[in-house]
Structure 1
Amino acid sequence: MMALKKLIIPFAAMMLCLGPPVSMAQPSGGDNPAADLASGAWELYRHKFVTGEGRVIDNKAGDISHSESQGYGMLMAVIANDRRSFESIWKWTRANLMTRDDALASWRWDGSQKPHVKDKNNATDGDLLIAWALLRASKLWGRADYKKLALQIAQAITAKATLDTAYGKMLMPGVHGFKANDQPDGPIVNLSYWVFPALNDLGLTSEAFPARPLLRSGLSLMREARFGPAQLPPDWISLSQREPRPAKGYPSQFGYDAIRVPLYLAWYSAEYPELLEVFARQWRKTPANGLAVVELATATQTSFLTDAGYKAVAEVVECSLGRPLNVDAISNFTPTDYYPSTLHVLSLMVIAERYPTCLTGSR
């Protein structure tokens, strides 16, 4: 078999060091308006999407819950300093999704099925989000047990959901189903599973967690796995050949998953403007009614993402690039559907923790 060609990694990436941890923004009495906005948005979000027992529902997917939604809810509760909600969400997660024989969570819970968890495979981004939320909670509330749990999850991710390849150490979407012997086009990865700030902070906490190689591989994929006239990454990427390519059996598109990629990168650092500019350039071409899913071969916009939550991501990218944002657009949060509403609250969190002056106009 012909050896896979490694991705070209610039010298700066080869020398990549872990950055500073993401700041633990809290309601601040006015000195950080974005933190106050994020906390207020959480209250509206919690009212619509979080049940009394701590289950975060995806209303566009039949009111299911998944490890991703639980992790997002836990993160939002931390920034709002809402300890009661955090503990409720974590308690439900632990009781209902921690059904495997390791520290990882089963990815999906469906109240309309019996048993509610039929597929015990994990979703690695959900595990990262849960671990990161526990780590942040441990620092905010002085809970050593939360830190211990976060590190247990990180250890399980390292052991079961990473893969050494000719492209570097990769983060697999799940323990099962994505490796070379699982699919003809495998290994298959999803760049939106690289939650860059979570990887960074877990690496700062545990020397055993492979944060540096995972950050390197994620940044390399952002440089190399870009296709078509728009030079955007697909949701799903095959690493089966000498060059990364859109994975077979999945739509060859920059879609709902990949929109999170620049959000996570901007949350981690503003030191990669050449990568963030790729997304900003595409979004500036999009009509005013919203962002769009882009078919990669021709750069055709196949469906528009009109919800304010998607537009909030674009505003964060503009802010990270040093350009003014539409303050009214990102500040006015009204819950709609689970995914765009989640992106909107996360966008406020990114501004609060990385770019607080974007809302005040000073730099």
Structure 2
Amino acid sequence: MTKKTKALLAAVVVAAVAVTAGIALLVVGAPGGAPDRTAGGPAESSDPGTGDSTPDARTATQIGEDFLAEWVDDDGRVVRRDQGDDTVSEGQAYGMLVAAAVGDEDRFAAIWDWTKEELVRQDGLLAWRWADGAVVDDMPASDADVDAARALVLAGAAFDRPTWTAEGVQLGTHVLDEMTASTDVGRILLPGPWAAGSGPWSYNPSYAAPAAFAQLGEASGDPRWAELEQGSRAITTNVLTATALPSDWAQVQQDGTVVPLPSADGSSGTVQYSYDAGRLALRYAESCDPVDVALAARLAPVLQRYPDLPMQLDLGGQEAGQDQSPLAYAARAAALASAGEPDAATADLGRADALAQSTPTYYGSAWAALAALQLDGEGSALGACSPLAVSR
């Protein structure tokens, strides 16, 4: 097993980003236990030209297998080697999705077994963070639980393991019961149980996953998954109507109005498109609904402004930092593929992989792998409606 520990800490340049005049940030009361998921960790690279030194192109399966080899221990723990060797539920879910997509049944089983042993709470949801042999923050993060539930359903079908399918349906049901809310425009996914209540609600636009909702709905027959698809599509449309790019965090009001926030509770930070929001294009590009794909395509013109694309932008698309991350190029690849530009999308997938190899980080490597498998992984358990595959 490979254990690369090339952790790079580069200076993070943060520029203050002004929110559109007249918008008041209505702060949601998030308890102290709300997950601070530090999605991107330290700056992944401070050299905007890093992605230009592109090695020979690798297949989506090769990229996925490399992620599993470098970031997953033999016992099934996905280790954030560049962030103190801890583990988060998101990482376990990413590992499960990758393992299912590349057809690695043994690795999938190991990751899920470790997750069940160490992270599953009494209510069936997943504790967010584990370090030094124990859970240190048991607040669930809904995106991780949805991704894990989806991975279980995909693996159950791919490996003929009905028990995994049943476990995925069960985990998904817990998400629906404890981490969703109904608005006037439809059901939405809340970031965690801490955000539940009568609203307005804290919201992370990049947690909405139409393909996952559709697959879990098909597996379970629960109509609430279709409600989540509808509500998420309405909210995302509102987000991209108000601003050119989605914010990492937002607040959703009962009528579906969306207010950008700088953090989960709105109390600190900078309103921007960054390590969380970058996932939105990837979530929507892999949907089988053309309306969702069109939403992903709306990000393409803004992201195309930069040959060397920074990970941090303000909501109008102006540079707000100098971090380079594989996620930035993976997100643009998703937007370009959705907009009918397969060659440019493929080039950006290559840049994402090259940057993940030259400056390896857990989060960047995970999204380089997931993006390749979702957008270009023909025959994998992901990417059933891949815009790149469809364009061939």
The TM-score bracket by the shorter chain reads: 0.7 to 0.9
Secondary structure, counterpart of 1:246 in structure 2: strand
Moved more, 196-205 or 349-358: 349-358
Aligned partner (choices 166, 175, 190) of residue 193 of structure 2: 175
CA distance in 1, matches of 2:317, 2:388: 31
- Aligned: 1:158 with 2:176: yes
Which residue does the alignment assign to 1:28? none
* Cα 1:143–1:236 shift into 2, 3 Å: same
Candidates 271, 280, 283, aligned match of 2:290: 271
1:107 lines up with 2:128 in the alignment: yes
2:228 to 214, 228, 232: 214
Question: Which position in structure 2 is the counterpart of 1:258?
Answer: 277
356 and 50 in structure 1: CA distance in 2 versus 1, 3 angstrom threshold: same
Cα pair distance change 1:299/1:101, threshold 3 Å: same
Contact 1:263–1:317 under 8 Å retained in 2: yes
Counterpart code for 1:345: A
Residue 138 of structure 1 corresponds to 156
SS at match of 1:291: coil
Equivalent positions of 1:277-316 (< 5 A) are: 277-286=297-306, 288-296=307-315, 299-316=317-334
Shift of 1:274: 4.2
Of 205, 209, 216, the residue aligned with 1:202 is: 216
| 8 Å Cα contact 2:187/2:232 also seen in 1 | no
- In the alignment, the residues of structure 1 paired with residue 101 and residue 188 of structure 2 have an alpha-carbon distance, to the nearest angstrom, of 29
Count of aligned residue pairs for this structure pair: 316
How far residue 356 of structure 1 moved from its aligned partner, in angstroms, is 6.4
Could you tell me which residue of structure 1 aligns to residue 37 of structure 2?
A: none
Unaligned runs of 5+ in 2: 1-57, 378-382
Match of residue 224 from structure 1: 238
Deviations 1:320-339 (Å, cap 9, x if unpaired)?
A: 22113244552455541111
Q: 1:126 to 1:328 in 2, by over 3 A?
A: same
Q: Decide whether the 8 Å contact of 2:275 with 2:327 is kept in 1.
A: no
Counterparts of 1:53-92 in structure 2 under 5 Å? 53-92=75-114
CA shift, 1:167, in A, is 3.9
- The one-letter code matched in structure 1 to 2:273 is F
Residues in 1 aligned to 2:274 and 2:258: alpha-carbon distance in whole angstroms: 18
Question: Using the alignment, how far apart are the partners of 2:348 and 2:88 within structure 1?
Answer: 29
Check the 8 A contact 1:163/1:169 in 2, yes or no. Answer: yes
Aligned-partner Cα distance in 2 for 1:91–1:155: 20
Aligned to 1:233: 246
Question: Residue type matched to 2:246 in 1?
Answer: P
Which amino acid in 1 is paired with 2:122?
D
Provide the C-alpha distance between the structure 1 equivalents of 2:326 and 2:142, rounded to a whole number of angstroms. Answer: 27
Cα distance in 2 for partners of 1:262, 1:89 equals 27
- The match for 1:127 among 137, 140, 145 is 145
Contact 1:106 1:121 in 2 (8 A): yes
> Which structure is richer in relative contact order (CA contacts within 8 A, separation 6 or more)?
2
CA distance in 2, matches of 1:212, 1:186: 22
2-side partners of 1:322 and 1:270: how far apart?
Answer: 15
Shifted more, 68-77 versus 250-259: the winner is 250-259
Letter in 2 for 1:218: S
Which of the residues 65, 68, 73 maps onto 1:43?
65
Amino acid of the residue matched to residue 63 of structure 1?
D
How far residue 66 of structure 1 moved from its aligned partner, in angstroms, is 1.0
Shift of 1:212: 1.4
Report the equivalent of 2:371: 347
Matched residues, percent identical?
25
Deviation at 1:216, TM superposition (A): 1.1
CA offset at residue 105 of structure 1?
Answer: 0.6
Distance 2:386 2:146 in 1: 25
Change (3 A) 1:252 1:329: closer
Higher deviation after alignment, 51-60 or 305-314: 305-314
Question: In the TM superposition, what is the alpha-carbon distance from 1:42 to its structure 2 partner?
Answer: 2.0
Contact map agreement 1:125 1:193 (CA 8 A) in 2: yes
User: Residue 295 and residue 328 in structure 1: after superposition, are their counterparts in 2 closer, same or farther (change >3 A)?
Assistant: closer
Cα contact 2:294–2:339 (8 A) shared by 1:
no
Instruction: Using the TM superposition, give the Cα deviation of residue 38 of structure 1 relative to its aligned residue in structure 2, in angstroms.
Output: 2.0
What code does the residue aligned with 1:108 have? R
Shift of 1:168: 2.3
